[in-house]
A and B are shown apart, each in its own frame.
Chain A
């Protein structure tokens, strides 16, 4: 199985900051990488797929980049509603696997 490793595991930031989360795959997944946001007690929300394509309705403050084995999620102008846990997940092949999550808090 492809291993997905996120860094950092946790991140403290302030309203208005820009943050970047990194995700590394244990083998080449081309651009088949998704980013999810999860708030406590809620279902995950799909933000980005194919490394850089925003799902419908996701604000442009979220952006993704990368290919092969290294990917990043950048969030601009952090607002209170952005503080959550973020997961990367490959959708390249069977079985899909997730990173361990990055908890973003104030």
Chain B
């Protein structure tokens, strides 16, 4: 069965960086895009970006340009999302989510369990 297993909770100070992992199993990793979505406490869902594990192509909203780096390791079937220069309003639960197929981007079928990140001095 498809599983996306994320790394554990993290606490960072403002200005620091955090790198979250999402280990995929139960399917061929390079055949589906991986998305990152975040949810601030008590708030809705916000899309952070997308990466194609087969070729490394990425998309992300303008607001995250220069602060978010998404990568994949096809040897370990793991996707990573690094967020730099953390601010308190980056405090959120970060989810990875798989595309339903290789031509239907941003259409999620499976989700990771979420990684809480707290940014506080």
Query: How far is A89 from B113 in the complex, measured between Cα atoms in Å?
Result: 19
Which residues in chain B, 80-117, are within 8 Å of chain A measured between CB atoms?
A: 95, 97, 100, 104-114
Q: Is B10 an interface residue (CB 8 A)?
A: no
Query: How many residues in A have their beta carbons less than 8 Å from beta carbons of B?
Result: 22
* Size bracket, chain B contacts: 20 to 34
A43 touches B45 (CB 8 A): no
Instruction: Report the number of A-B residue pairs with Cβ-Cβ less than 8 Å.
Output: 55
Q: How far is the CB of A16 from chain B (nearest CB, A)?
A: 29
A91 touches B106 (CB 8 A): yes
* Majority DSSP secondary structure for residues of A touching B: loop
Q: Given A43-B114, A49-B100, are A98 and B45 neighbors across the interface (CB < 8 Å)?
A: yes
* Residue of chain B at shortest CB distance from A49: B107
B47 touches A97 (CB 8 A): yes
Question: B108: which of A46, A97, A99 is its contact (CB, 8 Å)?
Answer: A46
Q: Which positions in B face A, CB cutoff 8 Å?
A: 35, 37, 44-47, 59, 61, 95, 97, 100, 104-114
Q: Closest 7 A-B residue pairs measured CB to CB?
A: A96-B106, A91-B107, A43-B111, A98-B45, A91-B106, A95-B61, A96-B47
